[in-house]
Amino acid sequence: MKLEIKDVHKSFIDNRGKVLPVLEDINLTLQEEEFVALVGPSGCGKSTLLNICAGLLSPARGSVVFTGAEAGREPVSSIVFQDTGLMPWRNVYENIAFGLEAGRGLPKKEWAERIAHYVGLVGLTGFEKAYPHQLSGGMRQRVGIARALVVSPDLLLMDEPFSALDAQTRMIMQEELVALWEKTRLTTLYVTHNIQEAVMLADRVVLLSRRPGKIRQILTIPIPRSEREAPEYSAEIAGFVRVIWEHISKDARAALQEVAENG
Amino acid sequence: MAEYPVKNKMQSWQRQYPALVSVAAVGVLLLLWEGICRAGLISPLFLPAPTRILAALGAMVADGEIGRSLLASLYRIVMGFLLGGIFGLAVGLVTGTSALADRMVTPLVNALYPIPKIALLPLFILWLGIGELSKVTIIALGVFFPIAMNTYSGVKNVDTLLIKVAVSFKANWWFTMKHVVLPGALPTIFAGFRIAAGTALLLLVAAEMIAAEQGIGALILHYGDLMITERLMAGVIVLSLLGLVFTLGLQRLEQRLVPWRRKNNG
């Protein structure tokens, strides 16, 4: 099954009534079991695109379609939100159960086993009764990931999931995500403004330009994901990071110019 | 093999309608009301038609009855609000910042808060006489509590980090109060103002119905006794407008004083 983003456009109206184009001409296909990272400077509309794919926002034009799906069963997509979006009044177990409760797909007697599996997978065993406020930022986002995975999604959408974490926790979470992804091999769309992170995680990195966001370039990262930490690839990884940064910094400078001209 | 387009599941939450819809809804309701009254389905003694109420209101404005009543009511509510507001703000700020005042005064405030203020009116009349002072005092008392309590919790909830910033720059107590604590507490203080506005209006009408010759509350009671329903309802409309003006005034003031906190709805 693939996710086809076809000719998507989106604009917002600012508080002065001016139309701000946010996304233009977005055409992209996520292949089965592919990890795609969307990278761009802030304000490039990458989160908007993710929201459209998630069915949380309507595109002004164009469509997002699952193709080659099994007939009779609508594909499920799960979102891992930037600020986790955990319910403060539910403990870890209840937060992870949220999707199962809301979706009503799985018989209740199978919940416990399924939840226990994902609790173990993200390393939260023993914390089931804890409330979100009792957990560290990294632990909270693990709950967010478990909550997304427990409904067996066909598509995983991650919206800057680690951007609120400190650098060390972030590194650990990245490594854990690589291991986790190798186990689940879910088609994934991952939004980030961290170039290093995109290169470490993704099969393909999609570069968006700044306002309106257009696809500027798509880079394929040919290094096997689980070996990207290895020293022999560090030069190649650094090369990708540099190429992406060159593109993005060009955009940031162009944006500065734009503001100067308008002012 | 099948295709499944991604549909926007947030659509019903994101949908927006023009403001005209509100006007149309009110218009339809008024028309319905008028129609029912014209058809003679309900006796005008119980429910006069909107046009008749409006006519009565017009006549009462023209002969100065509304003006006199409104002036008397406005004097009481404005004085009461100012008095209660100033005291409430002061007590809230002091109890919120001084641990000693907190220990001494807060239990007292909490103990007196649940008393229905209108129950104290006979006592105030006994102490202060039947004149304006007893009515102003009862309104001030009703306004004092929500403002004092909201100011207190607003001050308590000011981000400690911001106070640390102030202290690290050697700001003194007054400076910290004026430039950090008060702005930080303002949104919560305004929530208190809004609650207080409702309380003030309630106490105003209640006090005027119990012990006043003039004022909108007295006017409503008077026409109720005489069973002149459209004049009674004209008085209610004036009260509703008074409440609206109060709310809008507070909103304007809040936008002026708290520009860094834009609400996205309403």
Same domain for A66 and A99, yes or no, is: no
Are the beta carbons of B2 and A57 separated by less than 8 Å? no
What is the CA A114 to chain-centroid distance, rounded? 23
Number of Cα atoms under 13 Å in the Cβ half of residue A133: 3
Size of interface A-B (CB pairs under 8 A): 46
Residue of A15, A30, A61, A64 for testing the chain B interface, max B β-carbons within 10 Å = A64
Are the beta carbons of B5 and A65 separated by less than 8 Å? yes
User: What is the Cα–Cα distance from B181 to B172, expressed in whole angstroms?
Assistant: 12
Q: Is residue A41 part of a domain?
A: yes
* A72 vs B contacts (CB less than 8 Å): 2
End position of a domain, from candidates A153, A179, A209:
A153
User: Sign of torsion, CA B124 B128 B132 B137?
Assistant: negative
Report pLDDT for A255.
Answer: 66
Same domain for A246 and A141, yes or no, is: no
Asked whether A35 and A71 are in contact (CB, 8 A), the reply is no
Same domain for A129 and A207, yes or no, is: no
Q: Which secondary-structure segment (H or E) carries B13?
A: helix B11-14
Are the beta carbons of A57 and B14 separated by less than 8 Å? yes
pLDDT (tens digit per residue) in B40-93: 898 989 999 999 999 999 999 999 999 999 999 999 999 999 999 999 999 999
Same domain for A50 and A169, yes or no, is: yes
Report pLDDT for A227.
Answer: 87
Q: Is residue A215 part of a domain?
A: yes
Taking the model in full, what pTM does it have?
0.76
- Pull the structure tokens for residue B239: 């009260």
Asked whether B121 and B210 are in contact (CB, 8 A), the reply is yes
Among A198, A130, A132, which residue's Cα sits nearest to residue A160?
A198
Are the beta carbons of A77 and B6 separated by less than 8 Å? yes
Pick the residue with more confidence: A259 or B174?
A: B174
Mean pLDDT by runs of 10 across the 263 residues of chain A is 92 82 92 93 84 90 90 88 89 90 81 92 91 91 92 92 88 90 92 91 91 88 88 90 86 66 44
Place of tokens 């795609």: A36
Percentage of residues in chain B with pLDDT exceeding 70?
98
Minimum mean pLDDT range among A12-26, B108-122, B197-211: A12-26
- Pull the structure tokens for residue B32: 């319905």
- From B8, which residue of chain A is nearest by alpha-carbon distance? A55
- Pull the structure tokens for residue B41: 């389905």
* A58 vs B contacts (CB less than 8 Å): 8, 11, 14
* B11 vs A contacts (CB less than 8 Å): 58
Report pLDDT for B262.
Answer: 57
- DSSP state letter for A226: G
User: A228: domain range?
Assistant: 2-75+155-262
- Pull the structure tokens for residue A55: 């069915």
CA distance to A65, B117, B170, per residue, from A2 (Å): 8, 67, 61
Q: Is residue B26 part of a domain?
A: no
**Backbone torsion region of residue A114, taken as left when φ is above 0, otherwise alpha when ψ lies between -120 and 50, otherwise beta:** alpha
- Pull the structure tokens for residue B169: 């720059």
Same domain for A144 and A161, yes or no, is: no
Complex-level ipTM: 0.74
User: B134: domain range?
Assistant: 59-257
Are the beta carbons of A63 and B5 separated by less than 8 Å? yes
A72 close to B (CB below 8 A): yes
Task: Provide Rg for chain A, Cα atoms.
Answer: 19
Average pLDDT, chain B: 92
Same domain for A240 and A208, yes or no, is: yes
A137 close to B (CB below 8 A): no
Same domain for A101 and A146, yes or no, is: yes
* B14 vs A contacts (CB less than 8 Å): 57-58
A55 close to B (CB below 8 A): yes
Query: What are the DSSP E strand ranges found in chain B?
Result: 2-5
Query: What are the DSSP E strand ranges found in B2-102?
Result: 2-5
Are the beta carbons of A63 and B6 separated by less than 8 Å? yes
Minimum mean pLDDT range among A98-107, B148-157, B200-209: A98-107
Strand arrangement of the beta sheet that strand A204-208 belongs to: A77-80, A155-159, A187-192, A35-39, A204-208, A215-220
What is the CA B218 to chain-centroid distance, rounded? 20
Q: Which residues contact A137 (CB under 8 A, 6 or more apart)?
A: A164, A165, A166, A169
Asked whether A6 and A65 are in contact (CB, 8 A), the reply is yes
A71 close to B (CB below 8 A): yes
Report pLDDT for A263.
Answer: 38
Q: Is residue B4 part of a domain?
A: no
Q: Which secondary-structure segment (H or E) carries A8?
A: strand A2-13
Q: Report the length, in residues, of chain A.
A: 263
Judge whether residue B133 has pLDDT over 90.
Answer: yes
Average pLDDT over residues B12-25: 92
Q: Which secondary-structure segment (H or E) carries B238?
A: helix B229-257
- DSSP state letter for A209: P
- DSSP state letter for B41: S
Please tell me the total count of domains within chain A. 2
User: What is the Cα–Cα distance from B38 to B30, expressed in whole angstroms?
Assistant: 12
User: What is the Cα–Cα distance from A107 to A99, expressed in whole angstroms?
Assistant: 13
Are the beta carbons of A63 and B7 separated by less than 8 Å? no
End position of a domain, from candidates A133, A153, A173:
A153
User: What is the Cα–Cα distance from A63 to A9, expressed in whole angstroms?
Assistant: 9
CATH code of the domain containing A23: 3.40.50.300
CATH code of the domain containing B127: 1.10.3720.10
Same domain for A107 and A183, yes or no, is: no
What is the CA B9 to chain-centroid distance, rounded? 38
User: What is the Cα–Cα distance from B240 to B31, expressed in whole angstroms?
Assistant: 20
Q: Name which of A64, A71, A75 is nearest B1 (Cβ-Cβ).
A: A71
Report pLDDT for A61.
Answer: 92
A69 close to B (CB below 8 A): yes
Q: Is residue A116 part of a domain?
A: yes
Q: Name which of A58, A70, A74 is nearest B8 (Cβ-Cβ).
A: A58
- DSSP state letter for A31: P
Report pLDDT for A258.
Answer: 60
Same domain for A71 and A187, yes or no, is: yes
Average pLDDT over residues B233-260: 92
Please tell me the total count of domains within chain B. 1
Same domain for A44 and A16, yes or no, is: yes
Asked whether B178 and B166 are in contact (CB, 8 A), the reply is no
CA distance to A171, A220, B93, B161, B166, per residue, from B175 (Å): 43, 57, 14, 16, 8
Report pLDDT for A259.
Answer: 55
Q: Is residue B44 part of a domain?
A: no
User: What is the Cα–Cα distance from A200 to A177, expressed in whole angstroms?
Assistant: 10
Q: Is residue B103 part of a domain?
A: yes
Confidence of residue B266 (pLDDT cuts 50, 70, 90): very low
- Pull the structure tokens for residue B96: 């919120």
The H-assigned helical ranges of chain A are 46-53, 92-103, 111-121, 137-149, 167-184, 195-201, 234-262
Among A76, A94, A202, which residue's Cα sits nearest to residue A143?
A94
Average pLDDT over residues B178-182: 89
Same domain for A102 and A134, yes or no, is: yes
Same domain for A68 and A139, yes or no, is: no
End position of a domain, from candidates A153, A176, A195:
A153
Using a CB–CB cut-off of 8 Å, the residues of B that contact A are 1-11, 14
User: What is the Cα–Cα distance from A203 to A188, expressed in whole angstroms?
Assistant: 10
Asked whether B139 and B84 are in contact (CB, 8 A), the reply is yes
User: What is the Cα–Cα distance from B190 to B175, expressed in whole angstroms?
Assistant: 21
Q: Which amino acid is at A162?
A: F
- From A60, which residue of chain B is nearest by alpha-carbon distance? B8
